[in-house]
């Protein structure tokens, strides 16, 4: 039998190929409740992933952005946590920064993860204790140990907001639509940190959280709390993903903030 990592890797690549084909043929687009865009490719990719993965592991639970939540997942010790197309806005605008994100979660912690960015031909993988990889080459977070001049993924206007207790120093700030892909860019050292002070979901973070951990990057919410997955409410408050020496310096600047639940 294939390992969980081999299974989700093969399935992520199949899903990414399907998404690219559907985009080339022309997409149907509508808005979800709340206004975020969704396409027929999001739904088709979700259906493909669910069919393939549940057939291979019928005893695993399922949590996906594009599937109605089934509370029976809470009774499973293992489940798939999936974002079929993370970064739909980039997908729609023909930007390459979207990904297929799949994690296997066991007892609240990711144990295998894949983030596949089809347009970039970049495949990030990790298993617990097995290291993190980009296209089969080992990766590691940067050694950055100061906020000044770091390479930061986030919303540039947020850092310029006058309400900060201490102004942020000069940084190179960029953004990428896929949260999972942002975290992987921290894991492989191309960026030093990613900060998002807005609610995320388990499917945004689970696979990339493991990839970061195996690459020595640190991921927490803005209060410094690690993540537990397969919770009744799969919403998470915020994200700091950073090089190990940089994470506490960012945490110092944001942990006083109280965000709405």
pTM beyond 0.95, yes or no = yes
The phi, psi pair for 103, rounded to 5°, reads -125, 150
Note the pLDDT tens digit of each residue in 44-85. 999 999 999 999 999 999 999 999 999 999 999 999 999 999
Q: What is the C-alpha to C-alpha distance for residues 226 and 246, in angstroms, rounded to an integer? A: 16
Percent share of the chain, pLDDT over 90? 95
Helix then strand then coil, % of the chain, to nearest 5: 35, 25, 40
Query: Residue 35: what pLDDT?
Result: 79
Residue 227: beta bridge partners?
none
Q: Per-residue pLDDT for 195 more than 90?
A: yes
Q: Which fold has domain 151-254?
A: D-Maltodextrin-Binding Protein; domain 2 (3.40.190)
What value does the mean pLDDT take over residues 199-208?
97
Contact 118, 19 (CB under 8 A): yes
Question: Same CATH fold, 151-254 and 4-138?
Answer: no
pLDDT band at 1 (very low <50, low <70, confident <90, very high): confident
Measured between alpha carbons, how far is residue 32 from residues 29, 41, 167 in Å?
A: 10, 14, 36
Q: Per-residue pLDDT for 34 more than 90?
A: no
Q: Domain boundaries in the chain? A: 4-138, 151-254
Contact 73, 63 (CB under 8 A): yes
Q: Just give the CATH number of 4-138.
A: 3.30.540.10
Query: Residue 100: what pLDDT?
Result: 98
Side-chain-facing half-sphere of 208: CA atoms under 13 Å: 33
More confident residue, 185 or 261: 185
Q: Per-residue pLDDT for 203 more than 80?
A: yes
Q: Per-residue pLDDT for 260 more than 70?
A: yes
Q: Which of 46, 58, 41, 69 is nearest to 1 (CA)?
A: 58
CB atoms within 10 A of CB 155: 15
């Amino acid at each position: 039998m294939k390992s969980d990592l081999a299974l989700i890797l093969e399935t992520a690549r199949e899903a990414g190929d399907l998404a690219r084909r559907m985009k080339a043929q022309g997409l149907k687009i509508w808005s979800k409740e709340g206004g975020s865009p969704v396409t027929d490719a999001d739904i088709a990719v979700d259906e493909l992933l669910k069919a393939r993965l549940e057939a291979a592991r019928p005893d695993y639970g399922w949590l996906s952005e594009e599937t109605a939540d089934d509370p029976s997942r809470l009774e499973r010790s293992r489940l798939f946590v999936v974002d079929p197309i993370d970064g739909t806005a980039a997908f729609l605008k023909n930007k390459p920064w979207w990904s297929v994100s799949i994690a296997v979660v066991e007892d609240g912690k990711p144990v295998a993860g894949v983030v596949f960015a089809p347009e970039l031909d970049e495949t990030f993988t990790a298993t617990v204790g097995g290291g993190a990889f980009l296209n089969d080459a080992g990766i590691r977070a940067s050694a950055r140990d100061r906020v000044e001049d770091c390479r930061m993924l986030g919303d540039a206007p947020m850092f310029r907001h006058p309400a900060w207790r201490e102004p942020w120093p000069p940084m190179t700030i960029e953004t990428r639509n896929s949260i999972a892909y942002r975290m992987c860019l921290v894991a492989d050292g191309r960026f030093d940190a990613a900060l998002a002070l807005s609610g995320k979901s388990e499917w945004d973070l689970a696979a990339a959280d493991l990839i970061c951990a195996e690459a020595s990057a640190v991921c927490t919410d803005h209060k410094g709390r690690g993540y537990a997955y397969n919770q009744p409410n799969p919403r998470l408050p915020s994200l700091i993903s950073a090089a190990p020496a940089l994470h506490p310096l960012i945490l110092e600047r944001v942990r006083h903030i109280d965000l709405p639940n």
